[in-house]
Amino acid sequence: MSTISANFGIEKTLNLLGVKHINEGTSTGLNNFSSGDVLESYSPVDGKLIGKVATTTKEDYEKVMDAATKAFKTWRLMPAPQRGEIVRQFGDKLREKKEALGKLVSYEMGKSYQEGLGEVQEMIDICDFAVGLSRQLHGLTMHSERPGHRMYEQYHPLGVVGIISAFNFPVAVWAWNTALAWVCGDVTVWKPSEKAPLCGIACQNIAAEVFKTNNLPEGISCLINGDSKVGEFMTKDTQIPLISATGSTRMGKMVAQAVAGRLGKSLLELGGNNAIIITPDADIKMTVIGAVFGAVGTCGQRCTSTRRLIIHESIYDKVKTAVTDAYKQLRIGNPLDEKNHVGPLIDTDAVKMYENALIKVVEEGGNIIVEGGVLRGAGYESGCYVKPAIAEAKPEFKIVQHETFAPVLYLLKYSGDVENAIEIQNNVAQGLSSAIMTNNLREAERFLSVSGSDCGIANVNIGTSGAEIGGAFGGEKETGGGRESGSDAWKVYMRRQTNTINYTTELPLAQGIKFDL
């Protein structure tokens, strides 16, 4: 099997990233606190054991928190542009390790090597963004109603930010959070997905190297490992003012309740059920590329993956034929082989959910037009490779309303004008990414208007999948309402303080209140 550019094997990849093959604890000082049960990481690519990681016990966790809270006291005093310089160095380290980290992402998570590299590129991009931001963490000034007074707002760091991440973006989501949190003066404690713990260790090693070189405490970036129980150490901990959690809506509801119960803040990035509306004025060639990449890229395991095509009845058959023809050309196999378009699902539980969705859609009256199925035999030993499937369905089917994290695409028909399509698109519980394919300006503007798409992301003539780091990223409704990455998303990592300074010898009260003594 031919593999692309990173012409080194997985052993060398792990070495380059300082990840020990059998990893009891990890190579950095902080993570040697990990002494709990051993977590095994198997690759969905070939089913092989890649490494073992010790999970974090409650006692270990307390030590990590101790290191993080101490580090915060140093880090918050460093001027923000100097913190930006550290993030710049971190971005440079990522450039050096891009191939190795991209390869580990691909092998541990199962996405293509190109997508693995793309994920590391997102980390680099957010570092660049954060470096500039470190000189722009500005507040406002406003006029005081009292003479001789000055009033303004400033932003201070929050403290320890807890990050809980999903398996499907095992490194980028952490960087989206940390790069901003660090320039804002926060320190971070990260619990990566228990399905991709080695990616977490690799990232922690890179960060630790940068902090060590600069004589800064390693506690600025902390790592804890384990499943939801370890995540709960953080969600219940009053020492953590902000929890940024990425994952399923089910997880988000639990995290939101635990954090709100102690009046902490949460930033939630949860499931999507993303649709492309295809109107009679759509460019069909562009539509097919956007729809197929959106549905099968990362084997349908992106939060922004395309799950529904809402197609006008006048072009329904044409689009259906074009998309099903494109599916015939898909090659499924080892994601490290650049010839393949579709890699594996993360594990056999995900395969079961995929199979279940195909059963459910038929039970509800749907019609499968591109058959699914699990691939077996040489090259598919992990049992995680499935065929991307397409079903004709109705918008109200329960399974269509649900996010199945797999390559299952539903074709839905609409008639009349674009309002009807928008209503179908909005009529789901999730609100992450949405798109319209049209060359009709009126339809495009309707889709983007106040009564148009209700999602956090609304695109015209682009698919639903993927996003640039420059914009605020996130979704509405059951997607959780959080925004991270670009634009002014940094504000969530800081606390706002309003300051009023009196430079007179009088003490006038606000609202003209008199209090004479």
Residue owning tokens 């106040």: 450
State how far the Cα of 465 lies from the Cα of 383, in Å rounded to an integer.
26
Give the list of residues 6+ apart from residue 315 with CB closer than 8 angstroms, or none: 278, 280, 282, 284
Stretch binding ligand NAD (CB under 6 A), from 60-68, 267-275, 389-397, 418-426: 267-275
Please tell me whether residue 366 binds ligand NAD under the rule CB under 6 A.
no
Q: Are 241 and 52 in contact (CB under 8 A)?
A: no
Q: Residue ranges of the alpha helices (H) in 110-214?
A: 113-133, 172-184, 197-213
State how far the Cα of 455 lies from the Cα of 469, in Å rounded to an integer.
17
Stretch binding ligand NAD (CB under 6 A), from 89-97, 246-254, 368-376, 419-427: 246-254
Count, residues near ligand NAD per rule CB under 6 A: 30
State how far the Cα of 464 lies from the Cα of 149, in Å rounded to an integer.
50
Q: Are 384 and 350 in contact (CB under 8 A)?
A: yes
Q: Which of 269, 403, 443, 484 is catalytic?
A: 269
Selected from 113, 169, 174, 447, the binder of ligand NAD by CB under 6 A is 169
Retrieve residue 67's tokens.
């290191």
Q: Residue ranges of the alpha helices (H) in 25-154?
A: 58-75, 80-109, 113-133
Phi, psi of 159 (to 5 degrees): 135, -125
Residue 353's Cβ-count burial label (10 Å; 0-12, 13-18, 19+) is middle
Q: How far is the CB of 251 from ligand NAD (least distance, A)?
A: 3
Residues 416-435 as x/- pattern, contact with ligand NAD by CB under 6 A: ----------------x---
CA 424 to chain centre: 26
Please tell me whether residue 492 binds ligand NAD under the rule CB under 6 A.
no
Q: How far is the CB of 261 from ligand NAD (least distance, A)?
A: 12
Residue 354's Cβ-count burial label (10 Å; 0-12, 13-18, 19+) is buried
Please tell me whether residue 167 binds ligand NAD under the rule CB under 6 A.
yes
Q: Are 426 and 401 in contact (CB under 8 A)?
A: no
Please tell me whether residue 299 binds ligand NAD under the rule CB under 6 A.
no
Q: Which residue in 136, 173, 79, 89 sits closest to 491, CA to CA?
A: 136
DSSP bridge pairs for 223: 190
**Length of the chain as a residue count:** 517
Please tell me whether residue 168 binds ligand NAD under the rule CB under 6 A.
yes
Closest to ligand NAD by CB, 248 or 502: 248
Please tell me whether residue 287 binds ligand NAD under the rule CB under 6 A.
no
Please tell me whether residue 170 binds ligand NAD under the rule CB under 6 A.
no
Closest to ligand NAD by CB, 43 or 438: 43
Selected from 405, 410, 447, 490, the binder of ligand NAD by CB under 6 A is 405
Give the list of residues 6+ apart from residue 334 with CB closer than 8 angstroms, or none: 1, 3, 45, 46, 340, 343, 379
Closest to ligand NAD by CB, 30 or 251: 251
**What type of residue is 189?**
V
CA 134 vs CA 84, 180, 312: distances in Å? 5, 9, 47
Q: How far is the CB of 26 from ligand NAD (least distance, A)?
A: 17
Please tell me whether residue 174 binds ligand NAD under the rule CB under 6 A.
no
Q: How far is the CB of 96 from ligand NAD (least distance, A)?
A: 26
Selected from 6, 251, 275, 472, the binder of ligand NAD by CB under 6 A is 251
Please tell me whether residue 464 binds ligand NAD under the rule CB under 6 A.
no
Closest to ligand NAD by CB, 16 or 428: 428
| 269 in catalytic set | yes
Closest to ligand NAD by CB, 219 or 247: 247
Q: How far is the CB of 346 from ligand NAD (least distance, A)?
A: 7
Residues 175-234 that bind ligand NAD (CB under 6 A): 191, 193-194, 227-228, 231-232
Selected from 28, 34, 112, 246, the binder of ligand NAD by CB under 6 A is 246
Catalytic residues: 269
Binding footprint of ligand NAD on the chain (CB under 6 A): 164-169, 191, 193-194, 227-228, 231-232, 235, 246-248, 251, 254-255, 269-272, 303, 403, 405, 432, 475, 479
